[in-house]
Amino acid sequence: MLKRFAVGRKGVGTILGAAYFIIIVLAIFNLIMWEANQYDAYQQLVGQMNQIDQDRASENLQFFYPGLTDFQPLGSGKYSFSLLVRNNGGITTSVARIYFVNCSDTSSNALTTIEKGTSGVNYFTNGFINPGENNHKISVVTTLDMYTASIRAEPFYIHVATERGRTFSTFYPIAEALPPGGSVPYIDIGPLRFVFDYNSLNYTTINQQQPTQGWNFSYTGGTKIMFFVKVIDIDTVSDIKLLRYCVFDCIEMAATGASQKIASFYIVDKNSKYPPSMMYAYNENTAQILPHATKGAGGSPDTLFPQIIVFGASVWGTNEPKELYVGSDKAYSYLVLMGFYYQFPKDTKYTYGVTVPFVGIRVNTPT
Amino acid sequence: MGKYSRTIRRFVGSRRAISTLLANVIVITMVISLGTMLYIWTTGVMGAYQGAAGIWFLTRGEVMKERLAIEEVWFTNIAPGDQKNITIYIRNVGANEIKIAAVYVNSTQAWTGAKAINVGQVSRISLDLRPLTANNKWGKGCVTYISVATLRGTVVKGYWQAPV
A38 vs B43, B57, B89: nearest CB: B57
Cβ-based neighbour number of residue A244 at 10 Å? 20
Task: Tell me the percentage of chain A whose pLDDT exceeds 90.
Answer: 34
Range of the domain at B99: 66-161
- Same domain membership, residue B83 and residue B44: no
The domain boundary, picked from B17, B34, B63, lies at B63
The enclosing H or E element of A309 equals strand A307-313
**pLDDT score of A93 more than 80:** yes
Average of pLDDT values for B129-136? Answer: 74
Please choose, from the candidates A198, A196, A98, A104, the residue with its C-alpha nearest in 3D space to the C-alpha of residue A142: A98
Beta strands in A107-172 (DSSP E): 111-116, 123-125, 128-129, 136-142, 156-162, 167-172
The domain boundary, picked from B18, B34, B63, lies at B63
| pLDDT tens digits for range B14-73 | 766 667 778 888 888 888 888 888 888 888 888 898 899 899 999 999 999 999 999 999
Q: Which residues of A52-90 are buried (b: 16+ CB within 10 A; e: fewer)?
A: beebbeebebebbeebbbbbeeeeeebbbbbbbbbbebe
What's the rounded Cα separation, in Å, for the pair A19 and A25? 10
What's the rounded Cα separation, in Å, for the pair A136 and A132? 10
Closest CA–CA distance from residue A118 to any residue of chain B (Å) = 18
Residues of B in contact with A167 (CB under 8 A): 69, 71-72
The domain boundary, picked from B33, B63, B93, lies at B63
pLDDT of residue A25: 87
Q: Which amino acid type is present at position A188?
A: D
Residues of A in contact with B60 (CB under 8 A): 42
Average of pLDDT values for A339-362? Answer: 84
| pLDDT tens digits for range A29-76 | 888 999 899 999 999 999 999 999 999 999 999 998 888 888 888 888
For chain B, give percent helix, strand, coil, nearest 5.
35, 35, 30
- Same domain membership, residue B91 and residue B51: no
pLDDT of residue A236: 83
DSSP A295: P
pLDDT of residue A128: 93
- Same domain membership, residue B73 and residue B22: no
Of A7-16, A168-177, A219-228, B81-90, least confident by mean pLDDT is A7-16
- DSSP 3-state of A106: coil
What's the rounded Cα separation, in Å, for the pair B21 and A274? 143
Q: Which amino acid type is present at position A58?
A: S
Question: What's the length of chain B?
Answer: 164
- Where residue A241 falls among pLDDT bands split at 50, 70, 90? very high
**Contact, A352 vs A338, CB < 8 A?**
no
**Contact, A280 vs A200, CB < 8 A?**
no
**CA angle centred on A272, ends A242 and A210, rounded to 5°:** 125
Of A193-207, A226-240, B83-97, B112-126, least confident by mean pLDDT is A193-207
- Same domain membership, residue B133 and residue B100: yes
| pLDDT tens digits for range A302-341 | 778 888 899 999 998 899 999 887 765 577 888 888 899 9
Q: How many CB pairs under 8 A join A and B?
A: 102
- DSSP 3-state of A4: helix
pLDDT of residue B1: 56
- DSSP 3-state of A229: strand
pLDDT of residue B34: 87
Closest CA–CA distance from residue A355 to any residue of chain B (Å) = 30
A13 vs B31, B72, B122: nearest CB: B31
Average of pLDDT values for A171-198? Answer: 73
| pLDDT tens digits for range A244-284 | 999 999 888 765 555 667 889 999 998 888 898 889 999 98
C-alpha distances in Å from residue B151, one per residue of A138, A148, B110: 36, 46, 16
Average of pLDDT values for A135-162? Answer: 85
| CA-based max dimension of chain A | 151
- Same domain membership, residue B148 and residue B72: yes
- Same domain membership, residue B79 and residue B36: no
Please choose, from the candidates A185, A184, A307, A186, the residue with its C-alpha nearest in 3D space to the C-alpha of residue A240: A307
**Contact, B118 vs B155, CB < 8 A?**
no
- Same domain membership, residue B95 and residue B21: no
Chain-centroid distance of CA B24 in Å reads 52
Spell out the domains of chain A, with CATH numbers in brackets: 61-172 (2.60.40), 186-363 (2.70.50)
- Where residue A182 falls among pLDDT bands split at 50, 70, 90? low
pLDDT of residue A1: 63
| pLDDT tens digits for range A196-220 | 777 788 899 998 888 888 888 888 8
Residues of B in contact with A31 (CB under 8 A): 46, 49-50
Check residues A329 and A240 and name the one with the higher pLDDT: A240
DSSP codes joined into one string, B75-106: EE-SSTT---EEEEEEEE-SSS-EEEEEEEET
For all residues of chain A together, what is the average pLDDT? Answer: 85
Please choose, from the candidates A95, A112, A96, A101, the residue with its C-alpha nearest in 3D space to the C-alpha of residue B161: A101
B67 vs A45, A97, A165: nearest CB: A165
Check residues B9 and B18 and name the one with the higher pLDDT: B9
Q: Which amino acid type is present at position A3?
A: K
pLDDT of residue B73: 93
- Same domain membership, residue B43 and residue B54: yes
- Same domain membership, residue B70 and residue B54: no
B39 vs A24, A34, A161: nearest CB: A24
pLDDT of residue A183: 59
**Are A165 and B76 within 8 A, CB to CB?**
no
- DSSP 3-state of B59: helix
For all residues of chain B together, what is the average pLDDT? Answer: 87
pLDDT of residue A324: 86
- Same domain membership, residue B86 and residue B55: no
CB proximity B152 to A under 8 Å: no
- Same domain membership, residue B90 and residue B56: no
**Are A165 and B61 within 8 A, CB to CB?**
no
- Same domain membership, residue B83 and residue B153: yes
Q: How many domains does chain B have?
A: 2
CATH at B140: 2.60.40.10
Please choose, from the candidates A229, A232, A235, the residue with its C-alpha nearest in 3D space to the C-alpha of residue A266: A229
pLDDT of residue A64: 85
pLDDT of residue A67: 87
